[in-house]
């Protein structure tokens, strides 16, 4: 039987310890799939005698122990199910996101729509290094965006309505950064401690805390693994469209300039981060006219 070596080289196909078998990774932007797609994956796993599936840390599903001779067939079935092969090599892998404003009461941005937009534009793009993108709707950072090559965090600035604060202290009780204090019946925010999460805004029982300066913080160069490293703050932007433009420019820069064989986090000093930041921002400004 002639083997299809092409599909075996795709990122969604992972050779197991027993090289006669593969784990098949599925593409699921933001980890979301319909009930019918979930049923479809179960049927496919059963059809190919996997017996079980594995939920990964990057919000995907893997079907383990698939006979390497059946890879082409299972890939075809997954594609028909609307859950095609995923990615894990030197490319843009599954984009992760928290529930965002769709469900989370702490969310400041719509991460799910943003994840789907980025996935449609960037997923699977061949790169010199693996690029992971993670989106978090607030500084609670449930998806660990700063531990990814590209991270996005939704933030807002709390603003007190002057003259109306009752000094009840609810916002101070909810603030995990101890950035709010009550003095003479008025709440004060220590901006040096505030992480711009917006939890205090949601907690105010009288709706006297408002928001301003809602924005997306974009970070670059984080990583997990044996030697984890926090990503560096690149820029704050006001809209999802600007966020996409910046991320597309970062991806293009990595594709053209980064070296193979080294994680992006290890290259930022060599490529001079300040110069990299200036080039990224200037390019986007020229395109948008801002």
Confidence of residue 164 (pLDDT cuts 50, 70, 90): confident
pLDDT in tens, 188-213: 899 999 999 999 998 999 888 888 88
pLDDT in tens, 67-103: 999 999 999 999 999 999 999 889 999 999 999 999 9
Q: How many residues does the chain have?
A: 290
On the CB side of 111, CA atoms within 13 Å amount to 33
Please give the mean pLDDT across all residues of the chain. Answer: 91
pLDDT at position 260 is 87
The pLDDT assigned to 21 comes to 95
Q: What percent of the chain has pLDDT over 70?
A: 95
Query: Is the pTM for the entire model greater than 0.85?
Result: yes
Interatomic CA distance for residues 129 and 258, integer angstroms = 7
List, in sequence order, every residue forming a beta bridge with 188; answer none if it has no partner: 181
Indicate if the pLDDT at residue 177 is higher than 50. yes
pLDDT score for 281: 85
pLDDT exceeds cutoff 70 at 261? yes
At residue 4, the pLDDT reads 44
> Nearest to residue 268, comparing CAs of 224, 243, 231, 242?
231
CA atoms of 242 and 180, how far apart (whole Å): 31
pLDDT in tens, 221-245: 999 988 999 999 999 999 999 999 9
Domains and CATH numbers, the chain: 5-80 (3.30.70.3340), 96-288 (3.30.413.10)
The pLDDT value recorded for residue 286 is 67
Given this model, what pLDDT does residue 3 score?
Answer: 44
Please name the residue ranges forming H helices in 81-141: 111-122
The pLDDT value given to residue 166: 84
Degrees to nearest 5, angle at CA 31 with 29 and 37: 90
pLDDT above 90 for 262: no
- pLDDT interval class at 160 (50, 70, 90): confident
Q: Residue 217's pLDDT band (boundaries 50, 70, 90)?
A: very high
**Rounded CA separation 175/188 (Å):** 12
The conformational region for residue 100 under phi > 0 = left, psi -120 to 50 = alpha, else beta, is left
Cα separation of 255 and 253, whole Å?
5
Please determine, for residue 288, whether its predicted confidence score (pLDDT) is greater than 60.
no
Q: Per-residue DSSP letters for 168-189?
A: --HHHHH-TT--EEEETTEEEE
Cα diameter, the chain: 82
Beta bridge partners of 210: 159
Count of alpha carbons within 13 angstroms of residue 209, beta-carbon side? 25
What six digits make up the tokens of 146? 């700063």
208 vs 10: which has the higher pLDDT: 208
């Amino acid at each position: 039987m002639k083997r299809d070596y092409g599909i075996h080289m795709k990122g969604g196909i992972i050779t197991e310890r027993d090289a006669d078998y593969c784990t098949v990774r599925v593409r699921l932007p933001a980890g979301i799939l319909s009930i019918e797609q979930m049923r479809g994956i179960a049927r496919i796993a059963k059809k190919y005698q996997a017996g079980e599936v594995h939920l990964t840390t990057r919000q995907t599903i893997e079907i383990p122990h698939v006979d390497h001779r059946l890879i082409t067939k299972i890939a075809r079935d997954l594609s028909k199910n609307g859950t095609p092969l995923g990615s894990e090599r030197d490319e843009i892998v599954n984009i992760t996101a928290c529930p965002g404003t769709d469900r989370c009461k702490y969310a400041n941005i719509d991460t799910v729509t943003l994840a789907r937009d980025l996935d449609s534009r960037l997923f699977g793009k061949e790169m010199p290094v693996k690029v992971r993108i993670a989106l978090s709707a607030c500084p609670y950072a449930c998806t660990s965006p700063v531990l990814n090559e590209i991270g996005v965090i939704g933030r807002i600035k709390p603003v007190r309505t002057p003259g109306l604060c009752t000094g009840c202290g609810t916002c101070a009780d909810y603030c995990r950064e101890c950035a709010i204090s009550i003095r003479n019946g008025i709440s004060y925010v220590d901006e040096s401690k505030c992480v711009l999460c917006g939890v205090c805004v949601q907690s105010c029982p009288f709706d006297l805390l408002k928001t301003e300066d809602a924005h997306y913080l974009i970070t670059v160069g984080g990583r997990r693994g044996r030697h984890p490293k926090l990503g560096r703050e690149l820029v704050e932007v006001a809209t999802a469209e600007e966020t996409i433009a910046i991320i597309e420019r970062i991806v293009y820069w990595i594709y053209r300039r980064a070296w193979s064989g080294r994680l992006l986090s290890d290259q930022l000093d060599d490529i001079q981060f300040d110069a990299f930041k200036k080039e990224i921002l200037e390019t986007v400004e020229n395109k948008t006219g801002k």
